Structure 1
Amino acid sequence: MAQLIDAQLQATRARLEEIIKNLHELTLRIGHDEMAQTVSELRNRIFEPFMFVIVGEVKAGKSSFVNALLATGQEIAKAAPQPMTDTIQQIIYGEEQREVEINPYLKKIFLPVEILKEIAIVDTPGTNTIVEHHQEITEQFIPASDLIVFVFEAKNPYRQSAWDFFKYIHGDWKKKTIFVLQQKDLATDNELETNIEGVRNKAIQEGVENPNVFAVSAKREQEDIPDSGFGTLRQYITENITGGQAPRLKLNNSIITAQTINERIAGGLELRRDQFDADTRFRSDIQETLSEQTGQSNKQVDLMVENLLHTYDNITREKLEELRSGMSMFGLLKRSLSSTFGSTPDAKTWLGGLASELEDDLNTKLKARLNDNVIDLAESIQQMVKVIDLKIRSSETILKNDHELFSDIAERRENVLRDLQDQFNRFVSKTESFTDDELFADRENLTPNLAAGGGIAALGVVLMALSTLPVLDVTGGILTTVGVLFAGFSTRGKRKRIVDGFEAEIAVGRDRLATDLEEKLKSYISTLRTRIESNFTRFDEMLGREEKNLAILEGSHKEIEAELEEMSLSDG
């Protein structure tokens, strides 16, 4: 039966090692070196004995406590007189006693002590030590530990640095902890009773249910003086850890530690997902704003064209009626007689004047109407640009650049967003961002105004250029046709041709006015939108990469989460 249980345990360990290997790969993909090292240590220690990690402040009596617990009669864990020279000491089972220095801050001590077949002991420097690297090295052992033995001075177990370190152990890693008040021989019975209760209450305040607090004296234990307190402690260890329980407990602890790490990753990924969703909404909002404002501007163009055509129709209708009336037989006869005996111009002169009046009316009245409308259009587009600029500046930041796992991702996003703001500011300030050679023919006349305006102000100058052009060249056909016809008319047939030709050219000019103005303005609006969109290229590339990365990381996390949950249930 024991062999069967052992085989099952080995198989479960092997399976957990594979899961933790996947977890390690996930931390590497995330790019968090410290967490990757923690997971690597956890994986390496799966097959090691149940690990006691002894922590506490300098001079709390940790090393003396370890020596008394091992009961070898030797000073295995040396109490260094100077914390500056202290090291972490990992004490494990070995057939013969020896020491191996792993690095200047860590050494392994092998001892042929029976209890070390089931447990390993790690004696750490003080939590308030000033030795470089000691704190970080100590913290590397915490995630892979199976039981934290927190040693306090029996006379003063309330130092803040010790309890701050406890918050890291319990809050961050949920490690099982027992509390030891060492050097109880230096405290009075009243002090000891008060401090035991004080530590118990403090532990409860920090979220520990039913804390185990032991008061011991390593000095009494090593001198075989009764009431050292070690008997009660050893009984706890026998009932709760050793005697065949340790391997299964260690396995369960490793599962919990792996889950804790995976939960941290989950929390970070959740923030990254929230940030990605916020950025996606921001980008969609920009798109919607551009679409809405572009649509609104295009409607303004349609209204502008409609208003111009209404003015055009009124002018040409009036001139057409004047032409028809003047070209009637009665009208021509009357004009012929009047021109012979008076100052009334003859037909050819009158027709030339009518053509000139038509040109003046079209240029004057159409330009006035166009002028009013382009001002509204320019203000609308300028407002769109300002709205987008405001949205960029107020985009939501969820993932901060001090995040424990994804600070580099947050910083890269921050840089991309800052570049977007800077680039858009440069875009808005450059005149050429809002100019368009296709929109007007005579660029030279606009150059001084554009130079004076600069940036978004150039938009109004460009659009106003429409009202300075010769009615978009749409009346040329009418006037030319009328002039040719008028120059050679002499018969009744030609009179009809003049009226019909005039009416036909009015229709052609009307269509050309509508088409030319609508095409130029809507093309300009579309070009401007494309230019605005180009500012978001790098931001869009960032979103594309983040979407792919999140899908991979979240998928790996969920697989590991499910496997660890299954192991946790089966182990329980």
Structure 2
Amino acid sequence: MSNLIDAGLQADRARLEEIIKRLHELTIRIGHDELATTVSDLRNRIFEPFMFVIVGEVKAGKSSFVNALLATGEEIAKAAPQPMTDTIQQIIYGEERREITVNPYLKKIFLPVEILREIAIVDTPGTNTIVEHHQEITEQFIPASDLIVFVFEAKNPYRQSAWDFFKYIHGDWRKKTIFVLQQKDLATENELAVNTEGVAEKARKEGIEKPNVFTVSAREEQLGMEGSGFAELREYIAGNITGGRAPRLKLNNSILTAQTINRRIADGLEVRRRQYEADNLFRADIEETLNSEVSQSNKQVDLMVENLLHTYDNITREKQEELRSGLSMFGLIKRSVVSKFGSTPNAKAWLEGVAKDLETDLNDKLRGRLNEQVVDLAERIQQMVKTIDLKIRNSETILRNDHDLFSSIAERRENILRDLQDAFNRFVGKTENFTDDSLLSGRENLAPNLAAGGGVAALGVILMALSSLPLVDVTGGILTTVGVIFTGFSTRGMRKRVTEGFDKEVAAGRVQLARDLEDRLKSYITTLRKRIEANFGRFDEMLEREEKNLLILEGTHREVDEQLDALTTEA
């Protein structure tokens, strides 16, 4: 039966090692070096004995407590006179006594003491030590520990640094903890009673329902005196840890620690996922805003063209009536006779004049109408740019750069967003981003005036430059028609041919006006939209990478979580 239990334990340990290996790969992929080291240490210690970690303030009597607990009759854990030179001492079983200095802050002590076959003891520097590396290394041992023995000075167990460290141990790692009031020989019975209950009450407030508090005197124990308190402590250890239970307890503690780490990663991934979703919503909002603004701008162009065509129709209708009246039989005879005796132009000259007047009239009146409406279009496009700028500035930050796991991801996102803001500011300030060759063809001399405006501020000037271009050219077609008629034909049937040719060129001019304005302005709006979108290149790349990374990280986390749950159930 014993062999079967051992075989089961070994199999569970091997399974846990594989799971923690996956967890270690997850922490490496996350890029969190400290957590990766913690998981690596946890994996390396799976097959080690049950680990007691002794913590407490300097001068609380931790080293004396360890020496008395081991009862070897010699000083194993040495109390350093200078806390600044103190080291972590890991005391483990060995066939003969020897010491290994791992680094200036960690020493391993091997002892042929029977209890060390089942447990290992880590004596740490004080929680209030001023040496920077002490707490770092102490915190490396906490995640892999199986029992925290919190040693307080019996006369004053309320020092803040000790309880702050306890909050870290219990709050972050949920480690099983017992409390020891050391140096009880220096306190009165009343002080011991009050302080024992005081420690128990503080522990209950921190979430330990039934705290175990022991009062001991290492000095009395080493002198062999009765009532040192170590008998009760050893009875607790024998009843709850040793006696063959330590290996399975350690396995369960290692599973719990792995679950705690994986849960911590899950919490971080949840925040990171919410940031990704917020950024996706932000990007979709930008896209929707651009779509809406471009659509509204195009509708404004359509309305502008419709109004201009209405003006065009009114002007051409008047000229068409003038033409029909002038081309009546009576009108032609009268104009032919009068032109011989005075300055009245003949029919051909008169027709040419009507055609030229029409074009001048069209361009002058259409330009004025276009000027009125292009200002509204400029304002709408300006508003679109300002809206995008405001949305960039107000993008939501959920994952902050002080996040305990993903601060580097948050900083990278913050830098990309800051670059986006800066790039968009530069974009808005540059006139060339708002110009378009097809829109301003033939207006090269406009450039100096535009440069003075700068970017979106010059948008109105840029659009109004359109109205300074020839809007309609119908004269050429009409004059050709007139020339052909007067050269190759008699007056018979001329009226019909002239009016039909005139109407044809007017209709063609109408189509040309609509097409030219629509093409120029809508093409300009589309080009501007693409230029705005180009500012989001790096941000879009970040979103694409983040989506892939999150899927991988979340998938690995779920696998580890399911495997740990299954091992917990079976163990």
Shorter chain as denominator, the TM-score bin is: over 0.9
Residue deviations 1:462-499 (CA, integer Å, cap 9, x gap): 2101111122x432444433552575464123332111
SS in 1 for 2:268: helix
Confirm or deny: 8 A CA contact 1:351 1:486 kept in the other structure: no
Corresponding residue number in structure 1 for 2:125:
125
Q: 2: CA distance between counterparts of 1:481 and 1:268?
A: 78
| Structure 2 counterpart of 1:279 | 279
Structural RMSD (CA): 1.4
**Hey, what's the Cα distance between the residues in 2 that align with 1:352 and 1:512?**
21
2:252 is matched with which residue? 252
Question: Structure 2 vs 1, CA of residues 77 and 4 (structure 1 numbering), >3 Å: closer, same or farther?
Answer: same
2:305 corresponds in structure 1 to 305
Contact kept, 8 Å, 1:352 with 1:486, in 2: the verdict is no
Q: Percent identity?
A: 75
Counterpart position of 1:223: 223
Contact 2:51/2:122, CA 8 A, preserved across alignment: yes
Counterpart residue number, 1:235: 235
**8 Å CA contact retained: 1:478, 1:506:** no
Q: Kindly state the Cα deviation for residue 340 of structure 1 after the two structures are TM-superposed.
A: 5.4
The residue identity in structure 1 corresponding to 2:371 is N
**Whole-angstrom CA distance in 2 between matches of 1:270 and 1:246:** 35
Q: Which sits farther off after the overlay, 151-160 or 335-344?
A: 335-344
**Paired residues of 2:433 and 2:455 also in contact (CA < 8 A):** yes
Output aligned runs, 1:126-275, within 5 Å: 126-275=126-275
Cα distance change, pair 551–476 in 1 and its aligned pair in 2 (3 A) = farther
CA contact (8 A) 1:214 1:233 kept: yes
1:59-74 alignment to 2 at 5 Å?
59-74=59-74
- What residue in structure 1 maps to residue 441 of structure 2? 441
Query: Secondary structure, in 3 states, of the residue corresponding to 1:492?
Result: coil
Contact 2:352/2:479 (8 A) holds in 1:
no
**Displacement, 1:23?**
0.4
1:501 maps to amino acid: G
Instruction: Check conservation: 2:482, 2:498, Cα contact below 8 A.
Output: no
Aligned to 2:480: 481
C-alpha deviation, 1:451, in angstroms: 2.2
Q: Deviations over 1:100-148 (max 9, x none)?
A: 1111111111111111111111111111111231111111100000000
Indicate if the aligned counterparts of 1:348 and 1:486 stay in contact, CA closer than 8 A: no
Cα distance in 1 between the residues matched to 2:87 and 2:456: 67
Letter in 1 for 2:170: H
The residue identity in structure 2 corresponding to 1:213 is V
Contact 2:356 2:475 in 1 (8 A): no
Contact 2:87 2:104 (8 Å CA) reproduced: yes
Which whole-Å CA distance do the structure 2 matches of 1:483 and 1:155 have between them?
Answer: 119
* Matches of 1:279 and 1:72, distance apart in 2: 63
Contact 2:485–2:497 under 8 Å retained in 1: no
Q: Equivalent residues in 2 for 1:154-553 (5 A)?
A: 154-339=154-339, 344-471=344-471, 473-481=472-480, 483-485=482-484, 488=487, 490-553=490-553
SS in 1 for 2:438: helix
Q: What number of residue pairs does the alignment pair up?
A: 570
Change (3 A) 1:12 1:66: same
Q: What residue identity is the alignment partner of 1:433?
A: N
Map 1:67-82 → 2, pairs under 5 A: 67-82=67-82
Q: What is the letter of the counterpart of residue 533 of structure 1?
A: E
Given the superposition, is the C-alpha separation of residues 134 and 407 from structure 1 closer, same or farther in structure 2, using an over 3 Å criterion? same
After TM superposition, the score normalised by the length of structure 2 is 0.97
Separation in structure 2 between the aligned mates of residue 108 and residue 457 of structure 1, nearest angstrom: 72
Letter in 2 for 1:253: N
CA distance in 1, matches of 2:475, 2:388: 41
SS of residue matched to 1:90 = strand
Check conservation: 1:437, 1:443, Cα contact below 8 A.
no
**What is the identity, as a one-letter code, of the residue corresponding to 2:496?**
K
In the superposition, the TM-score normalised over structure 1's length comes to 0.97
Q: Is the 8 A contact 2:355 2:475 kept in 1?
A: no
- The question of whether the paired residues in 1 share the 8 Å contact of 2:88 and 2:106 is answered with yes
Equivalent position amino acid for 1:463 in 2: L
Aligned letter for 2:445? N
- Superposed CA deviations along residues 71-106 of structure 1, whole A, max 9, x for unmatched, are 111111111111122111111111111111111111
Q: Which amino acid aligns with 1:207?
A: G
Map 1:39-58 → 2, pairs under 5 A: 39-58=39-58
What secondary structure sits across from 1:437 in the alignment? coil
d(CA) in 1 for partners of 2:331, 2:516: 37
Amino acid at match of 1:407: S
**In the alignment, which residue of structure 2 is the partner of 1:86?**
86
**Which whole-Å CA distance do the structure 2 matches of 1:480 and 1:345 have between them?**
16
1:255 maps to amino acid? I
Query: Which range moves more in the overlay, 76-85 or 328-337?
Result: 328-337
SS at match of 1:557: helix
